[in-house]
Structure 1
Amino acid sequence: MMVVVTYDVNTETSAGRRRLRLVAKICMRYGQRVQNSVFECSVTPSDYLTLKHDLAAIVDEKYDSLRYYNLGSRYSSKIEQYGRCRHVPVDGVMML
């Protein structure tokens, strides 16, 4: 299933900047960055629970926010792109 993860982490302190780096690092394990604080993650239901648990352990809910958009398994018709594309299609063939 495709899940879009967005986040806003307060970076006014060094602890906030560290949280921001950790959130991005965890998101990169599960998906690919499509905008600065937006990741598209193709995950199993169990990976989705783990992702949410790992991120919740890092963010400070007084200052930061996380949003999850579950697009399901038939997500391709739900995504429209305009402008510069920063990602590789998840279900396409990748050539290096």
Structure 2
Amino acid sequence: MTRACRAISRYTKVKFVGLCYGIYFQLASLAKFLEVKPQDLDAKAAGLNHLTWIMDLRFKDGRDVYPVLNEKLRKTKRLLLNRPYIGDSLERGY
């Protein structure tokens, strides 16, 4: 994406913002782990470049996902879908 943004900036006068779409992969992984559809989750995320943090995560009905996620992580005692950046050690630390 960086190269695309650089080219747009350098060769056009288009005003734009380059956004990392990695959040969608994170939501898909979380949805699979929670056994729900990705569209059943609503996230507010922030970050810089590809370091995205989910600041608020709710089910579409407004319930907070974190208590459900924390309980499931405690029960499974394993990394979430073999992705170390969403593992239980990261969840406990932040």
Q: What TM-score results when the alignment is normalised by the length of structure 1? A: 0.26
- Greater relative contact order: 1 or 2 (C-alpha under 8 angstroms, separation 6 or more)? 1
Tell me which structure has the larger Cα radius of gyration: 2
Q: What TM-score results when the alignment is normalised by the length of structure 2? A: 0.26
